[in-house]
Amino acid sequence: MIIVCPCGEKKFEVDENLIPDKGRLLKCGSCDQTWFFNKNVSGQTEPFIDKPANQKKILYKDQNTDKSVSKVPIKPGSELVKYNPKYNFTFGKFLSYIIVSLITFIAFIIILDTFKSPLSNLFPNLELILYNLFETLRDLILFVKDLN
């Protein structure tokens, strides 16, 4: 059975046997919204307002309206469906980070080489450092060509 969160952004696949006929309190792991789901009523996505018989309401002061608002405390780990965020780091993202880093490094070298004269006042050995950097890059290029 697929259950849609009232926020409409997340869908969860839940075993139908886990929800009794009288319904069950559910909590979205993404937006932390809690609602009562009854599988006999189709399309029920209204947020949970009433408290269960075994829980107490706690009064909180609403920051926007300065009124007392009652909320039902939810025990951690009592939600039916737990949201586990996926680790979205792939080889493609890694490769794109490497490419962006290389382009940034090359742009930095070009900027340093362009403004070599004014920056030499601040960094006296800049011209020597850039020359050594260019020679190192040239050696790396020759090394890669020799690998082929």
pLDDT at position 79 = 62
For the chain, give every domain's residue range: 2-71, 91-147
Mean pLDDT, to the nearest integer, of 73-88?
66
Highest mean pLDDT among 16-20, 47-51, 70-74: 16-20
The closest of 61, 63, 32, 62 to 48, measured between CA atoms, is 32
Asked whether the predicted pLDDT for residue 49 surpasses 50, the reply is no
Look up the pTM and report it.
0.38
Give me the mean pLDDT over the 12-41 stretch.
77
pLDDT top residue among 11 and 119: 119
Q: At what angle do helices 91-114 and 126-147 cross, to 10 degrees?
A: 140
Q: Specify the higher pLDDT residue, 67 or 97.
A: 97
CB 137 within 8 Å of CB 131: no
